[in-house]
């Protein structure tokens, strides 16, 4: 498996650290309530198909990335800077 880091280019999987669902970028408001926080912290869909996950180019540029890939076909669709994704959410 290889990922196209937007900064470094195409790199081997061993340079990257996997964190988990990119939903972590969408932190609820402090007063959003217990259900929203429970969902944000603990509940994951675990779909077979397209997922969006956070990875870090740990042994490269250090950037956090959002990787959209398909867990059924193993296709990797996009690799974006998490900072840009977060900016777009604002």
Partner 1 sequence: MAKLKARMPCEEMLPFTFGTVKLDETNLGVMTSVMALGEDAALSSALSDAHGVGFPKANRTLGNAGGPRCIWFGQRQAMLIGPAPDDRLQVYAALVDQSDGWCAVTVEGEDVEHVLERLVPVDLRRMHFKRGHTARTQLGHISASITRTGSQAFLILVFRSMAASLVHELSQAMRAVASRRGNG
Contact positions vs partner 1 (CB under 8 A):
7-9, 11-12, 14-15, 59-63
Both tokens of residue 66? 């959002």
Residue 9 binding: pick among partner 1, Zn ion, none (C-beta 5-8 Å cut-off by kind): partner 1
Surface-to-core class of residue 26, CB atoms within 10 Å of its CB (0-12 exposed, 13-18 middle, 19+ buried): exposed
Both tokens of residue 48? 């077979």
Residue 52 binding: pick among Zn ion, partner 1, none (C-beta 5-8 Å cut-off by kind): none
Residue 62 binding: pick among Zn ion, partner 1, none (C-beta 5-8 Å cut-off by kind): partner 1
Per DSSP, 17 falls in state: E
Chain positions contacting Zn ion, by CB under 5 A: 5, 7-8, 57, 60-61
């Amino acid at each position: 498996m290889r990922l196209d880091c937007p900064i470094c280019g195409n790199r081997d999987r061993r340079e990257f650290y996997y964190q988990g669902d990119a939903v972590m970028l969408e932190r609820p408001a402090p007063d959003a309530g217990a259900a929203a926080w429970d969902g944000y912290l603990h509940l994951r869909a675990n779909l077979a198909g397209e997922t969006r996950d956070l990875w870090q180019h740990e042994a490269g540029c250090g950037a956090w990335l959002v990787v959209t890939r398909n867990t059924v076909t193993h296709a990797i669709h996009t690799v974006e800077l998490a900072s840009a994704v977060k900016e777009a959410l604002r």
